[in-house]
Amino acid sequence: MHRLFLIILIGYLIGIIWGLYIKSITPIFIIIAIIILLIYKFKKHFKFINYIKILKIIIKKEIIIIFIVSIIFSGINIKLQNSKYDNLYKDNQKIELIATIISDKNEKEYKTVYKIRVDKINNKKNYSQYTGTYLLLNIKNTEKIKDLKYGMQIKVLGEYIKPDEARNEHGFNYRNYLKSIKVFGNLSCEKIEIIKENNINQILIYCNNIKNIIKNNIKEILSQEEGDLLLGILTGETNQINEEIVNYFKISNLYHLLSVSGMHVSYIILAIEILLKKLSFNKKIISIVTIFSLIFFIEIIGYSPSATRAIIMGIISLIAFLLNRKLDIINSICISMFIILLYNPFNVYNVGLWLSYGGTIGILSFFEIINKKLSLKEEKHKYEMMIYKKQNIQNLILKIKNSIMQMSCVAISAQIIILPIMILNFNTISLTFLISNLLAGYLIGIVIIVGFIFCIISVFSIKFTNIIIIPFKILINLLIFISKISSKLPLSRIYVTTPNIVIIIIYYIFLFLIFLKNYLEKKQQLSYLQKKVLNILNNYKKKFKENIKQFFSFLIIVIIINYLYLIIPKQLKINFIDVGQGDCTLIITPQNKKILIDSGGNTASDYFDIGEQILMPYLLNKGIKTIDYIMISHFDADHCNGFISILENLNVKKVIIGKQCNISQEYTNIMKIIKEKNIPVIVVKKGDKIHIDSYVYLDILYPKEKLEFDNLNENSIVAKLKYYNFSMLFTGDLGIDGENTILKEYTKGELKANILKLGHHGSKGSSSLEFLNEIKPKLVLIGVGKNNKFGHPNNEVLNRLKDIR
């Protein structure tokens, strides 16, 4: 059956969507029934379709049966998998299990992490269904435990930590991420005992040993920065690369170079072919050896979706040669994706999967179309070649020009498909991707080839690597330099708001129609149905050109209507954003003004930017690129550092701060950006009122003009948000001393508010009962980090909240 796997894959994907987002199968059959009824209802508009012929094809080839079985199997499978993830253990429950370590250690700042395979759960009755599943074992660096090795079987007692789902709207879902790598959660180690070593297949141990030899040799010869980058390029292992370099690659749109792709596979295939041909092996033997080499390679580097896709497609092409079959690239793509999703259906959450397939499909579908638009015409090319035949320099220039054009076509065609994926997941686009990819495109191939040679030689003898080490170091540092320079270019990273999913669907439909038209036009023989489809597409193209003015007029009207909708007064919206151990509140007024009060920004890791990785995605997903006011209650890191990314990348109109008792480093950093951006600053004191719009204003209750405390927390801005009869009180990190000062300044009832943002994260030294009784809030919000080291919120404070009269 021609392209059977395309039908299976479509059904399988529909089943996954049903299993994840739809509780019943009924809606799927309702949609199918509606489509059939619509076709029947408007069949006079589709007279060119021979329904009887199509029905015969469907019955004969059993497409419907295969399609429905794929949907049902996939949907039921993922529902069962989801249930399995939900029912392992409750959060913070003690468990004892026997497991095998299946990864090398991953050393972090405060802990060491291993991936373990569950062999037996001692206190779980029905443990058999969890045999072979994976957990992340976390061992605190303070624990004196002997280094564990790959393949060791251990007995471990620990606390099961259920992974968090998205803590903010459209936020990062850690649980789904772990599902995509088949991990059920984290196990915080309390006691561990080694049972035996090498409790795993010897081939896997051998592959892991080779990987470690290569890693150690790279570390010995290259600097840490160079070595970690090389490993990222050759194996896709990026967790050890310096965060600054990773950001260079991300911003310059070169991050795809840090994953295994078809380029790696093609070089491996080519190298083995050249080597074995020299040794006089026939082509079929070469193909068989290459297949096993690719399997060996992926076992060493790991089964990331992009690497798995490239390896499977490479193996399929080799099998097609062995069977004397013509390679069908569409079937090859479908088979590889089906295998990846069959192994783990939760790979649909893996952005790398969609970027890898999107780039591949883009190149296959649009390279030829773009090449026709951008490249030299064939006749012109031949003519120029004749002129320059005896002029070597001009001929070389022409070849370079064509090579650059070809590489540009590859980059653009891949970008066409992955652009919406990038916007949906990262809210960024790059207008300089072509420059960075052209600069790095020629270099990366050399780095990969020399890198493979370096690794192979180093396994046998590290001394021989000295021959290539100096030019190799130059190549790697040049690649770092290109990524750094490209990331500094204007428009290298433009933040955009998340588009409506309908727009994304229309975009891909439009691309499909362009591809379909091009495909039918170049096909030599067309069926009756294909001719009719091509005529319809040509007619619509002609009509679009004739009515382009009307189209743009309609587009302008839609934009105006959307703008009018935005300025129509609505309800006040208050969003309390989870930024971990910190405070952050987004207020959207009835007239669509946006106020951001505090931002969070203090984490255990120097590499995690609250502003860039939590606040920016949150705001962009809500369609917000302009903030009318940001108010910084005080300049502690956990209240203001998140503003750095906001100030640098979004349009901030005004900044509200209080008078400073002392100048902190955070104050200096933020005020420098404010000055560079020329943003007006409002310094507020008791009695000031900031009118946000016709309905909403901020009443500043504290601090007084003359500061009474030499302390950032006690001088926090205390502001009451007023909207008709509704009010919300923001208290920053105000402590009991500051509260007592406020109690003396205001009469009974003046502090009363519907909602209170509790001071200082619910610490013991804030929120006195007298202060709480004056406010009498109906709802209290506390900004704390999960399992924070400060023990916030304090139990005494929680008891005070219960005692409010």
pLDDT digits (tens, 9 = 90+) for 76-118: 888 888 888 877 777 778 888 899 999 888 887 778 899 999 8
- As beta bridge partners, residue 696 has 723
Report the relative pairing of strands 594-599 and 584-588 from DSSP bridges: antiparallel
- Tokens, residue 526: 């067309």
Asked if 529 and 287 count as a contact pair (C-beta separation under 8 A), the reply is: no
Give the separation between CA 197 and CA 540, rounded to whole angstroms. Answer: 68
Please give the average per-residue pLDDT across 37-43, as a whole number.
56
Please give the average per-residue pLDDT across 249-255, as a whole number.
87
Give the separation between CA 541 and CA 523, rounded to whole angstroms. Answer: 19
The confidence band for 43, taking pLDDT boundaries of 50, 70 and 90, is low
Give the separation between CA 12 and CA 67, rounded to whole angstroms. Answer: 8
Provide the pLDDT for residue 48: 47
Provide the pLDDT for residue 341: 93
Provide the pLDDT for residue 403: 78
DSSP assignment, residue 734?
-
Q: Which of 23-32, 599-608, 679-688 has the lowest mean pLDDT?
A: 23-32
Query: Which helix (DSSP H) or strand (DSSP E) does residue 631 occupy?
Result: strand 626-631
Asked if 443 and 479 count as a contact pair (C-beta separation under 8 A), the reply is: yes
pLDDT (tens digit per residue) in 552-567: 777 788 778 777 766 6
CA angle centred on 679, ends 590 and 586, rounded to 5°: 35
Provide the pLDDT for residue 378: 45
The total of other beta-carbon atoms located within 10 Å of residue 324's CB is 6
89-200 is classed in which CATH architecture?
Beta Barrel (2.40)
pLDDT (tens digit per residue) in 523-577: 777 777 777 778 888 887 777 776 777 767 777 887 787 777 666 777 899 999 9
Which residues in the chain are classed under CATH 3.60.15.10? 573-802
| 573-802 CATH fold | Metallo-beta-lactamase; Chain A (3.60.15)
Phi, psi of 727, deg, nearest 5: -150, 150
Give the separation between CA 56 and CA 306, rounded to whole angstroms. Answer: 39
In single-letter form, the type of residue at position 738 comes to: G
DSSP assignment, residue 615?
I
Report the relative pairing of strands 134-140 and 153-161 from DSSP bridges: unpaired
Asked if 654 and 673 count as a contact pair (C-beta separation under 8 A), the reply is: no
Sequence-distant (≥ 6) Cβ neighbours of residue 603 within 8 angstroms:
580, 581, 610
Provide the pLDDT for residue 644: 93
Decide if pLDDT at 186 tops 50: yes
CA angle centred on 312, ends 307 and 316, rounded to 5°: 150
For a pLDDT cut of 90, what percent of the chain falls above it? 32
Provide the pLDDT for residue 785: 84
Give the separation between CA 297 and CA 56, rounded to whole angstroms. Answer: 46
Q: Which residue has the higher pLDDT, 59 or 111?
A: 111
Query: Which helix (DSSP H) or strand (DSSP E) does residue 585 occupy?
Result: strand 584-588
pLDDT (tens digit per residue) in 398-430: 777 777 888 888 889 999 999 999 999 888 888
Decide if pLDDT at 391 tops 70: no
Phi, psi of 98, deg, nearest 5: -110, 130
| Residue 175: CA count within 13 A, CB half-sphere | 12
Which residues in the chain are classed under CATH 2.40.50.140? 89-200
Provide the pLDDT for residue 74: 87
Location of structure tokens 């020299």: 278
For a pLDDT cut of 70, what percent of the chain falls above it? 87
pLDDT (tens digit per residue) in 209-247: 888 888 888 888 888 888 889 888 888 888 788 888 988
The confidence band for 647, taking pLDDT boundaries of 50, 70 and 90, is very high
Asked if 282 and 321 count as a contact pair (C-beta separation under 8 A), the reply is: no
- Cα distances (angstroms) measured from residue 192 to each of 98, 106, 154, 189, 270: 10, 17, 7, 7, 47
Q: Which residue has the higher pLDDT, 441 or 648?
A: 648
Provide the pLDDT for residue 392: 63
